[in-house]
Amino acid sequence: MINIPGSKKQIVADKSVAFLEFAFRPFFLFGAIFSIISLLIWTALLRGDTTLSLYGGSLWWHSHEMLFGFTAAIIVGFLLTAVQNWSGVRSLNGKGLLLLLLLWLAARIAFFFPEQLPQALIIIVDMAFLPLAAVALAYPIIKVKLWRNLMFIPILLVMASSNALTHYAAYTGDYALSSSATTFMVLLVTLVMCIMGGRVFPMFTANGTGTPRVNAINILEKLSVISILVAVMAGAKFIELPSMVVAIIFILTSIIHAVRVIRWKIWVTLKTPLVWSLHISYWCIVLGLLLFGLSEISSLVSHSQAIHTLTIGGMATMILAMISRVSLGHTGRTIVVGKTMTVAFLAIIAAFVIRVFGLYLLDNYSQVLSLTVLFWTIGFGCFVALYLPILIKPKVN
């Protein structure tokens, strides 16, 4: 009966195939859902509402899972989808994609059973995801000699190395190394955002607003990439540099990227949520880099504020905007969002503002965290509710 055209069982089968047609479908959906669940658990743990034995401890688990669980899933979903457009070669799909998804999911579950599962098994399962994704990404790129995009392969492998360092830090109890490794990952993702932003944001702005595309200034684009590369190495602190030197590197990097993003003219995007949300995410990168530099030389700004500006303001806002856009474009729909996703973008921006600046107004950290997670849940919850049918159904003809 499955093969009878138009039958109910045939429709179910088609939906199943559609869900594994491209990597963006499962990884955007599962990543968004996981981010909500993990933050709700993190809030419950800090408030004392529940107790859980987590691999690496609750703080290690939180930072690891938001980076190597949630963010890595979105990056892999995006890259394994984009590579087919870049190369014209069929990207990972079907059973291969399902296996990669199940591997990612297995690692997320394994962290809840540190006493029941061998530590080596947990590490291997979690560590395998990014290298395997890099292999899947490498095949179409190398096949057509698309060397311009080859850089994403070593970036994924360096991210995998950062993951290995977090596991080593958990094993040894080296909290300084754990902090350096997670900061390194945050800055690596920031590097990816800056590269992709420079490539597509001017085009998205022109297409979305009907205004002329801003032409790139070659020297500015090179400085943008070089400066963020230097900032990644300086900020991770695997090699100790004087605080003033690190501060100067980050402040100069922030200025360079501010010049870059102001040229993209956020003021022409104010009626286009899918575009102004991307601009705001990039402005948060500028602010995060500035705060990172200031945190090195001033007690008025904390390292946590800088990191959460980059992660919630930069990453989460850009992720929400990009997965909304990619999901519409790759399923044959008009690339326009309505009121629901506009509310979602505003909610995630509110989450950033509350998490980074909330303690200036509220004395209770628990309240700040709870409000942050509430707005995050609204933001990504809107995406899940609105895009679930889009991601599981076949492409619109």
Q: What digits encode the pLDDT tens for the residues 337-376?
A: 999 999 999 999 999 999 999 988 888 888 999 999 999 9
Distances (CA, A) of 17 to 28, 137, 213, 326: 16, 21, 38, 19
Return the higher-pLDDT residue of 375 and 86. Answer: 375
Q: Where are the alpha helices (DSSP H) in the chain?
A: 8-19, 24-47, 58-64, 72-87, 94-110, 119-143, 152-172, 175-209, 218-236, 243-262, 273-297, 303-308, 317-329, 339-357, 365-392
Position 330 pLDDT exceeds 90: yes
Q: What digits encode the pLDDT tens for the residues 231-284?
A: 999 998 888 899 999 999 999 999 999 999 999 999 999 999 999 999 999 999
In the prediction, which pLDDT does 77 show? 97
Task: Supply the mean pLDDT for the chain.
Answer: 93
Position 122 pLDDT exceeds 50: yes
Mean pLDDT of 101-117: 97
Give the span between the Cα atoms of 61 and 169, in whole angstroms. 12
User: Which domains are present in the chain?
Assistant: 10-173 (no CATH), 183-397 (1.20.210.10)
Q: Residue 147: which pLDDT band, with cuts at 50, 70 and 90?
A: confident
Please state whether the predicted TM-score (pTM) of the whole model is above 0.75.
yes
In the prediction, which pLDDT does 15 show? 47
| Angle subtended by helix axes 273-297 and 175-209, to nearest 10 | 150
Q: What percent of the chain has pLDDT over 70?
A: 96
- Given the structure tokens 């509402």, which residue do they identify? 49
In the prediction, which pLDDT does 17 show? 81
In the prediction, which pLDDT does 238 show? 83
Contact 270, 221 (CB under 8 A): no
Position 207 pLDDT exceeds 50: yes
In the prediction, which pLDDT does 163 show? 97
In the prediction, which pLDDT does 100 show? 98
In the prediction, which pLDDT does 74 show? 98
Position 145 pLDDT exceeds 50: yes
Q: What percent of the chain has pLDDT over 90?
A: 88
Position 8 pLDDT exceeds 80: no
Mean pLDDT of 194-220: 95
In the prediction, which pLDDT does 10 show? 36
DSSP state of 216: P
Q: Residue 91: which pLDDT band, with cuts at 50, 70 and 90?
A: very high
Contact 269, 208 (CB under 8 A): yes
Contact 127, 167 (CB under 8 A): yes
In the prediction, which pLDDT does 361 show? 86
Residues with Cβ < 8 Å from 245, sequence gap 6 or more? 234
